[in-house]
């Protein structure tokens, strides 16, 4: 090598060597799920991180899967895990074992906990270079910043006077906590219990808790934490294509149940039929009144102003007892849900219908004190036949016809040991309720509510089948990664 070339190569080599020495200072936590598809994806990411680390150093970082850390129902909400075990000083020599919290997974050399989703793509050298810019002895909360463009119900209309002022992390890009901040949070969680009963949007709620009304650090935006691969400086990107794990599930294998009532037959059902209903081969409309022109099926359950638990369980029983045994999947939606059946066919190719699968957008209730997770109904609830069989074989039922069906289902499945499986592609609210940057790396499957929007326009803009949906060559690459 010529002297000039050697001089140019030396800084790059030194940079890599310096980065490699810092690998032991990062604990990677993949926000994984126990469902077989998601666990496999997370394990693939773990191997990729460790392989990159092996290319740089002999000392590998810790890479943990969140669903293995604890069997606690609320482990996915992260905060309840922090104070679960002994303090750092008492366990600095421990090695990780399933069931331990974050406080027993790092030693005195650790500087950062880096969280990411199973589809986050990490360039380890670039991430190390990025984190080295921040003094690890200080309290840092790092991530790609999102903000609300208008106050939204999913955030309880927080910061309604100026919603853009509060920043929270896009989990897809990865986010990091310095160890001093982690220790501070652990101490606080030990001294006072989490106040909120509901977990709706975890990334926003974690940011609120860390900020602590100004007593804690706000999110520091980090430009190298990305969700697209346009910029060469990115340390992270996100795999945003719709998953496909073989052939899409046939439409004949998906039964769609639409919950409605007589007062909405005239305005909501026409929207369903004008937009997505034509994609479904097997679809029925369940109401409190049989109207042949639609047609609707009267289940004999009186309509209720809220909850609809009695109606939902009647739908489940009808599906299990009266539909063809070869129909693998049931989807229950509201009459103001907008959904893409073609995209759902792609997504379901990644799940085993012989497993008990309960899929959709995950919320939580009372998770800090032994509560349960549930699939929020507005975005659509997807059940495998096996999940319904186990549910109805149990004695778990509605405590009243107007009980909240989605929460009762979550409670029942929790008692049966059947985990809910989260997909961020289902949405309980309207597109305007989510940051544009957040939706930009999604191929959404559903939205909910017609309030103050044109639902047909929303469907055409966000969910209508396109030539890309029909071909979607990039999803084959997703399959090949597995």
Residues 347 and 445 sit within 8 Å (Cβ to Cβ)? yes
> What pLDDT score was predicted for residue 181?
96
- Measured distance CA(273)–CA(293) in Å, rounded: 12
Q: How far apart are alpha carbons 383 and 393 in whole angstroms?
A: 15
What is the C-alpha to C-alpha distance for residues 101 and 106, in angstroms, rounded to an integer? 10
381: number of Cβ within 10 Å: 27
Sign of CA dihedral 44, 444, 467, 340: positive
Beta bridge partners, 358, equal: 383, 420
CA 141/CA 79 separation, integer angstroms: 14
Strands (E), 108-182: 112-116, 120-122, 141-143, 145-146, 168-169, 175-178
Are 179 and 193 within 8 A, CB to CB?
no
d(CA 89, CA 87): 6
This prediction has a pTM of 0.90
Q: What is the pLDDT along the chain (482 residues), one digit of tens a residue?
A: 444 444 444 444 444 444 444 788 999 999 999 999 999 999 999 999 999 999 987 689 999 999 998 888 889 999 988 876 334 333 443 444 455 555 545 556 789 999 999 999 999 999 999 999 999 999 999 999 999 999 998 999 999 999 999 999 999 999 999 999 999 999 999 888 887 789 999 999 999 999 999 999 999 999 999 998 777 799 999 988 899 999 999 999 999 999 999 999 999 999 999 999 999 999 999 999 999 999 999 999 988 878 899 999 999 999 999 878 889 999 999 999 999 999 999 999 999 999 999 999 999 999 988 899 999 999 999 999 999 999 999 999 999 999 999 999 999 999 999 999 999 999 999 999 999 999 999 999 999 999 999 999 999 999 998 755 554 433 344 443 43
CB 342 within 8 A of CB 330: no
Closest to 45 (Cα-Cα) out of 64, 26, 23: 64
């Amino acid at each position: 090598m010529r002297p000039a070339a050697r001089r140019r190569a030396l800084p790059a080599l030194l940079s890599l060597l310096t980065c490699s020495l810092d690998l032991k200072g990062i604990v990677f936590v993949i926000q994984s799920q126990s469902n077989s598809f998601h666990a496999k994806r997370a394990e693939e990411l773990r191997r990729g991180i460790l392989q990159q680390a092996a290319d740089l150093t002999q000392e590998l970082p810790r890479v943990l899967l969140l669903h293995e850390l604890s069997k606690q129902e609320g482990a996915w909400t992260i905060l309840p895990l922090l104070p679960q075990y002994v303090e750092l000083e008492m366990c600095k020599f421990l090695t990780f074992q399933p069931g331990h919290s974050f406080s027993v997974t790092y030693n005195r050399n650790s500087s950062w906990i880096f969280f990411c989703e199973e589809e986050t793509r990490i360039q380890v050298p670039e991430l190390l270079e990025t984190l080295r810019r921040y003094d690890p002895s200080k309290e840092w909360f790092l991530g790609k910043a999102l903000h609300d463009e208008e106050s939204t119900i999913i955030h309880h209309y927080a910061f309604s006077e100026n919603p853009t002022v509060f920043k929270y992390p896009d989990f897809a890009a990865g986010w990091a906590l310095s160890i001093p901040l982690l220790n501070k949070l652990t101490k606080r969680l030990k001294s006072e219990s989490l106040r909120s009963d509901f977990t709706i949007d975890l990334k926003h709620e974690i940011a609120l808790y860390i900020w602590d009304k100004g007593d804690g650090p706000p999110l520091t935006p980090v430009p190298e934490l990305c969700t697209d691969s346009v910029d060469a400086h990115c340390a992270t990107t996100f795999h945003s294509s719709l998953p496909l794990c073989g052939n899409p599930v046939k439409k004949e294998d998906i039964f769609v149940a639409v919950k409605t009532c007589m007062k909405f037959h005239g305005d909501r059902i026409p929207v369903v039929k004008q937009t997505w209903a034509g994609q479904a081969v097997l679809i029925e409309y369940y109401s409190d009144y049989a109207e042949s022109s639609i047609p609707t099926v009267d289940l004999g359950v009186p309509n209720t102003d809220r909850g609809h638990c009695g109606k939902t369980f009647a739908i489940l029983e009808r599906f299990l007892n009266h539909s063809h045994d070869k129909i693998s999947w049931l989807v229950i939606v509201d009459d103001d849900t907008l959904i893409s059946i073609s995209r759902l066919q792609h997504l379901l190719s990644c799940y085993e219908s012989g497993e008990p699968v309960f899929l959709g957008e995950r919320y939580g209730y009372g998770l800090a004190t032994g509560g349960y997770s549930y699939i929020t109904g507005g975005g659509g609830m997807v059940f495998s036949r096996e999940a319904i069989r186990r549910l109805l074989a149990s004695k778990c039922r509605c405590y009243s016809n107007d009980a909240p069906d989605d929460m009762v289902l979550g409670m029942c499945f929790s008692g049966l040991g059947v985990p809910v499986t989260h997909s961020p592609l289902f949405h309980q609210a309207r597109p305007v309720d989510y940051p544009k940057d957040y939706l930009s790396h999604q191929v959404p499957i559903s939205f909910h509510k017609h309030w103050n929007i044109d639902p047909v326009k929303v469907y055409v803009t966000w969910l209508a089948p396109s030539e890309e949906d029909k071909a979607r060559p990039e999803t084959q690459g997703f399959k090949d990664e597995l």
